[in-house]
């Protein structure tokens, strides 16, 4: 199996990339929702471009690209909320440099839906880079600032991964079927999150804790405060250990890269990226919790164990809270305010 064939749930993209790897052009746009595997695909595509055997996945070049230690594959992470003009200049400089080892280098530009005013600085180099440079631009969607750059790239679409495919993938990776199903249910079509949850032994306990909330509420502020504090603590610890383990492995790869090639790696950018992932983990976990809580009221509505009017009020209040989360992501305040509105099911 080639490195590209190993990508999960993206048959169409894999087909197009396999063809592209044989006769690559100057720039590609990988477009698709978070967690659809764009980063992994970018690494695999880079391996296919640099590997003397077209990405066999077994040679030393493939190995270094996939582990993130090959000097001719540079993944550029943003260091703030947006891609800055300074960063864009750095990308131009990197693009103009010759490859270290072979005839080609690959620049992977991440989160480019956040390109904002840095886009004009990059247009020319992405349009017409040196013949040895291939750009892979990753974006969740194409905002107006990205449109011109997008029009200069060959576009490869990625889609959210289906539940069955998530389960099958986890099982093939050695997870037992029951844990794989639980992880897939809580992953919202995202393979990265499904993998993280599958390696998290506390997932079932967390689901139960959220599901039990309506039975713990008794109309008092004390019950609300206790439940909110407990849920906040669950959110803060959920999946953190597996994520830290992955971050440690990434930092080790960086150190190796620096000592092997004397590469200048921007550690601040990597730290920022890790902080963002941690933050996103908490948000994902809160969304998962709210969905579980909402399911508890829906179940009570269906089996008649709660007054219908109360259950409907609760379902609406939880939908509103999930929407408010996008605008004002203070989880503790949001949870307290929500739990105060929710009826008890005792």
- Name the nearest CA neighbour of 314 among 326, 300, 304, 303: 300
Q: 53 or 237, CB closer to Zn ion?
A: 53
Q: CB of residue 59 vs Zn ion: minimum separation in angstroms?
A: 3
What tokens appear for 29 in the block? Answer: 């746009």
What tokens appear for 76 in the block? Answer: 């550029």
Number of residues that bind Zn ion (CB under 5 A): 5
Does residue 272 belong to the site contacting Zn ion (CB under 5 A)? no
Q: 38 or 70, CB closer to Zn ion?
A: 70
Q: 48 or 95, CB closer to Zn ion?
A: 48
Give the span between the Cα atoms of 12 and 156, in whole angstroms.
9
Does residue 91 belong to the site contacting Zn ion (CB under 5 A)? no
Q: CB of residue 44 vs Zn ion: minimum separation in angstroms?
A: 11
Q: CB of residue 16 vs Zn ion: minimum separation in angstroms?
A: 20
Give the span between the Cα atoms of 346 and 338, in whole angstroms.
18
- Per CB under 5 A, contacts with Zn ion among 274-313 are none
Q: 3 or 187, CB closer to Zn ion?
A: 3
What tokens appear for 41 in the block? Answer: 């695909």
Q: 142 or 253, CB closer to Zn ion?
A: 253
Contact (CB, 8 A) for 261 and 248 = no
Contact (CB, 8 A) for 282 and 331 = yes
Q: 66 or 335, CB closer to Zn ion?
A: 66
What tokens appear for 61 in the block? Answer: 């070049």
Q: 63 or 241, CB closer to Zn ion?
A: 63
Contact (CB, 8 A) for 184 and 175 = no
Q: CB of residue 75 vs Zn ion: minimum separation in angstroms?
A: 18
Q: CB of residue 51 vs Zn ion: minimum separation in angstroms?
A: 3
Q: What are phi and psi of 123, to 5 degrees?
A: -55, -50
Q: CB of residue 259 vs Zn ion: minimum separation in angstroms?
A: 23
Q: 2 or 110, CB closer to Zn ion?
A: 2
Does residue 271 belong to the site contacting Zn ion (CB under 5 A)? no
Helices 331-341 and 308-327: crossing angle, nearest 10°? 160
Q: CB of residue 102 vs Zn ion: minimum separation in angstroms?
A: 12
Q: 62 or 167, CB closer to Zn ion?
A: 62
Per-residue contact string for residues 27-66; x = within reach of Zn ion by CB under 5 A: ------------------------x----x--x-xx----
Residues that bind Zn ion (CB under 5 A): 51, 56, 59, 61-62
């Amino acid at each position: 199996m080639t490195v590209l064939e190993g990508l999960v749930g993206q048959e169409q993209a894999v087909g197009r990339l396999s063809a592209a790897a044989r006769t690559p052009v100057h720039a590609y746009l990988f477009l698709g929702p978070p967690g659809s595997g764009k980063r992994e695909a970018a690494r695999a595509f880079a391996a296919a471009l640099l590997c003397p055997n077209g990405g066999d996945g077994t040679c030393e070049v493939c190995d270094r690209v996939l582990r993130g230690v090959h000097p001719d594959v540079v993944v550029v992470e943003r260091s703030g909320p947006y891609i800055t003009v300074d960063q864009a200049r750095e990308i131009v400089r990197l693009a103009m440099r010759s490859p270290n080892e072979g005839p080609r280098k690959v620049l992977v530009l991440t989160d480019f839906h956040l390109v904002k005013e840095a886009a004009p600085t990059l247009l020319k180099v992405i349009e017409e880079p040196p013949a040895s440079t291939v750009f892979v631009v990753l974006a969740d969607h194409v905002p107006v600032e990205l449109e011109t750059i997008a029009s200069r790239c060959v576009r490869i679409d990625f889609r959210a991964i289906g539940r069955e495919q998530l389960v099958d993938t986890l099982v093939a990776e050695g997870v037992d079927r029951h844990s794989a199903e639980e992880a897939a249910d809580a992953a919202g079509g995202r393979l990265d999150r499904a993998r993280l949850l599958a390696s998290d032994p506390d997932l079932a306990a967390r689901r139960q804790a959220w599901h039990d909330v309506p039975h713990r509420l008794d109309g008092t502020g004390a019950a609300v405060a206790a439940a909110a504090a407990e849920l906040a603590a669950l959110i803060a610890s959920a999946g953190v250990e597996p994520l830290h383990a992955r971050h440690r492995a990434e930092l080790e790869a960086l150190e190796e890269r620096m000592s092997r090639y004397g590469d200048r790696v921007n550690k601040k950018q990597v730290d920022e990226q890790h902080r963002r992932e941690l933050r996103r983990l908490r948000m994902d976990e809160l969304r998962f919790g709210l969905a579980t809580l909402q399911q508890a009221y829906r179940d009570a509505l269906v089996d008649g164990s709660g007054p219908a009017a109360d259950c409907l009020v609760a379902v609406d209040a939880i939908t509103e809270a999930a929407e408010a989360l996008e605008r004002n992501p203070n989880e503790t305040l949001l949870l307290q305010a929500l739990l105060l509105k929710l009826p008890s099911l005792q």
